[in-house]
Amino acid sequence: MRRALLLARKAEGRTSPNPMVGAVVVRQGRIVGEGYHKKAGSAHAEILALKKAGSKASGGELFVNLEPCGHFGKTPPCVDAVIASGIRKVYIGMKDPNPLVSGKGIRKLRRAGIAVETGTLRAECERLNEVFIKFITTGAPFVILKSALTLDGKTATCRGESRWISNPQSRKVVHALRDRVDAILVGAGTVAQDNPLLTARPVGKKGKNPVRVILDNQNRVPLTARVFLNSSAEKVIYVASQKLPEKKERALLKKGVEVLRLAKKNNRIPLKILMAQLAKREITSVLIEGGSEVNGGALREKIVDKIILFMAPIIFGGKDAPGLAGGAGIPRIQDAVKINEVQVRRLGEDLWLEGYPS
């Protein structure tokens, strides 16, 4: 099963809106076939593993991190191929989280006389596909809030300078993270201050640029911003209020940008409604790389599933230097956002902190 998980992770960031799946066929204690789902619409992991195993699959065992599908989708049901192969036992890491199909594949295998054991490394299997689980069970994307900050919790100087707080090693991790998500969300302030490209430039391979989502409810982002440079080839969604001037909308559309108008609530674009709109476009994961106000809004609306912070050993100080989360802040300690399952790693002199809001 650990081998299946390693195989599955090879396609991280490439299978959306499908899950990551790896499969291993074992006969008499030896691996005779393996495979993983490479991208949506391509062959499933079980099919590839069984094909490699060939006749050696008969009487063998199949290890797969997610329940084999028992229904027709873009490809035929995997359980039919498993049954036809002569596999005698299937080890499944976790059931399919889709309530419409969960358990159907398992039941079909058992009815065919195949032994099935579920829950092998279940926690690790669930963590691997945390994005898919959130999307398929709630209809909303998995949201990661990422930020670089100083030891005193500042994300920029009092003048708004933020490039670069983190070191080159941390920035490499960020580009690898961008390569794995469906979309990046930033606010108008970030675009105006840093003028970023928001592309993925991972070391050692060609990156997959995520959809860039620009939140601008005050018409602040100029048409000359670098984020629009290749918008005719790679998707950019410009999120504006109902008051966006038609002239600017026409100019954005001419650049190939999708314009999404949303009604403001409390003078802000509601992020929960925006997430629902992104989910309709089969965007399953969103990386928030915004400034203090966007971060604060995301935490207040409770859309954040995971937090990743890169903390540099520097101090900015000053009451006018923005912190991680803007807004009025919480009145009582017991109202604080609590972070669970915190992991801390070193990246040179930087600290990489990762956890899940309760």
Is 46 marked active-site? yes
> Going by C-beta distance under 8 Å and a sequence separation of 6 or more, which residues neighbour residue 154?
315, 316, 317, 318, 321, 322, 323
Question: Which H or E run includes 274?
Answer: helix 271-280
What are the residues facing 148 on neighbouring strands?
Answer: 310
267: Cα within 13 Å, side-chain hemisphere: 3
Give the count of alpha carbons within 13 A of 278, CB side only: 33
Task: Pick the catalytic residue from 34, 46, 61, 293.
Answer: 46
Q: Which residues, 6 or more positions from 12, have their beta carbon under 8 angstroms from its beta carbon?
A: 20, 180
Q: Residue 164: is the preceding peptide bond cis (ω within 30°)?
A: yes
Sign of CA dihedral 325, 331, 335, 338: positive
What whole-number distance in Å separates Cα of residue 256 and Cα of residue 224? Answer: 14
Distances (CA, A) of 277 to 62, 183, 230, 344: 38, 13, 23, 33
Rg, C-alpha atoms of the chain: 23
**Structure token digits, residue 52:** 């490699």
- The catalytic residues are 46
